[in-house]
Amino acid sequence: MSTHMNDTEIRIFESARVLFNEWGYTSMTLRQIAKDVGIEVQSIYNYTSSKQALVEKLVRTGTAELHSSVVDAIASAEPAPTARLRAAMQAHVLHYLSSASVVVFFRDSLVHFDSDTRSSLLLLLKEYEQLFKDILREGIATGAFRELDVTPTTYAILGMGDSVTNWWRAGGRLGAPELSELYGELAVQMVSCTPADAGLRVPPTPTPALYPESKENDSA
């Protein structure tokens, strides 16, 4: 958040974050934000020209925070592609589960922006997606990951991470850290090589007989 924002601007921004996550673009109103902050609705126009301008700022800030958190996680991970993908997915899920995340409704809101703004925001998303594509390509090149179509695989991994907001609730059986670790492992399992992928023959698993022979037959 900008250090040049005064206290009222900060409260407007944070209120908009919460309401945007709760209601989405269409249902959220500047009147709701003004009431939440405790100012007259006319006064909010001293801080933003429109709802679109405020939401655009929210989305840009939220996307930058998401990008930064994942970059930091990747940089802190072991250099192996599996470790970096696991760390990236964990950071992605943790951010989506945080109350400050505004990327959740990002795609649903794009239709409300003009074409230039929409193109600019989509470019931010593509830059973020590139983090995962680069890890996948490195993993494929080093043999850690299977031969995969990188773009749809990236969308599948990110879509899996995004979906946690549809069902996860704080106070449930899995906390955010535990869930992020689980999804990190799932992402790695989706793309990792198996012995069969590496061209190795996997020995068949013996199937136990349903009716083992009796000892009498064994001694015959």
Band the pLDDT of 103: cuts 50, 70, 90. low
Which of the following CATH numbers is that of domain 50-191: 2.60.40.1760, 3.40.640.10, 1.10.357.10, 1.10.260.30? 1.10.357.10
Distance CA 111, CA 99 (A): 24
Inter-residue contact 24 to 108 (CB < 8 Å): yes
Instruction: Provide φ and ψ at 192, rounded to 5°.
Output: -70, 150
pLDDT of residue 190: 96
Query: Where in the chain are all domains bearing CATH 1.10.10.60?
Result: 1-48
Give span(s): CATH 1.10.357.10, the chain.
50-191
Q: What is the C-alpha separation between 159 and 175, in angstroms, rounded?
A: 20
- C-alpha distances in Å from residue 103, one per residue of 59, 64, 167, 192: 6, 10, 16, 28
109 and 59 Cβ atoms separated by less than 8 Å: yes
pLDDT digits (tens, 9 = 90+) for 111-159: 888 899 989 988 999 999 999 999 999 999 999 999 999 999 999 999 9
Choice among 26-30, 103-107, 151-155 with the minimum mean pLDDT: 103-107
Please say if the pLDDT value at position 220 is more than 70: no
pLDDT at 113: 86
pTM recorded for the entire structure? 0.78
Higher pLDDT among residues 103 and 91, named by residue:
91
The mean pLDDT value for 192-200 works out to 65
CATH architecture of 1-48: Orthogonal Bundle (1.10)
* Token pair listed for 195: 């012995």
